[in-house]
Homo-oligomer: A and B are copies of this chain.
Amino acid sequence: MEYGVLDKLVGYAIRRAQIRIYQDFLDALGHLAITPPRFSAMTIIQCNSAMKLTELASAMGIARSGAVEVVNSLEKLGYVTRTDSATDRRAFALALTENGKQAMHEITAAIEDHDARISARLTKDEQFELRRLLDLLG
């Protein structure tokens, strides 16, 4: 099978890697109904107290309507809650529920296993170098 110009493109190498990684992610976390954007959202909510939904969207690089969907799904799972903002009656203060905080222990551990698994063929130095090169893109 020939892949032509695809083999020479940095973008395609990233795409291929991402497809494999996404699959391993879902295999490792699908049973908890956690997907990459959901994990990103929970982590960002956990690290930044009383975030507004618009701030979450911006941090994730997605549209506000997309953040609504992510938060809806996490609320449905019982991991995230919308509470009233103390300073802006239009806004919500996003927070993890107790259930969500509990789950984050298991989820984060599974994510770290997953990340170690996908980068197992790289030395620590190579992993660092890979992150550095990726961050240089864009």
Chain A interface residues (CB < 8 Å from chain B): 1-6, 9-21, 24-25, 36, 40, 43-44, 46-48, 55, 59, 61, 108, 111-112, 114-115, 118-119, 121-122, 126-127, 129-131, 133-138
Contact = CB atoms under 8 A, between A and B. Distances in A.
Contacts of A10: 115, 118-119, 122, 127, 130-131
B20 A137 contact: yes
B4 A47 contact: yes
Contacts of A46: 4
A16 B111 contact: no
B138 A21 contact: yes
Given A6-B43, A43-B3, A11 B114 contact: yes
